[in-house]
Amino acid sequence: MTILTPDLVNAELQRIIQESSKAPQAIYEAEKKLAEAEFAYEREKALQFMNAEGTVADREALSKFQSSELRLAADIAKAELNRVRSKAKQLADAGILTATLAKSVEMTYRNA
Q: Model confidence over 9-47: pLDDT tens digits?
A: 888 888 999 999 999 999 999 999 999 999 999 999 999
* Tally of domains in the chain: 1
Task: Give the helix, strand, coil percentages of the chain, each rounded to 5.
Answer: 90, 0, 10
Q: Where in the sequence is the domain holding 91, given as residue range(s)?
A: 21-104
In a domain, 93, yes or no: yes
Report the alpha-carbon angle 89-93-95, nearest 5.
Answer: 115
Distance CA 38, CA 16 (A): 32
pTM over 0.75: yes
In a domain, 11, yes or no: no
CB 108 within 8 A of CB 23: no
What are the CA-CA distances from residue 52 to residues 46, 49, 67 (Å)?
A: 10, 5, 12
Helix axis angle, 6-21 to 23-51, nearest 10°: 30
In a domain, 8, yes or no: no
pLDDT of residue 4: 73
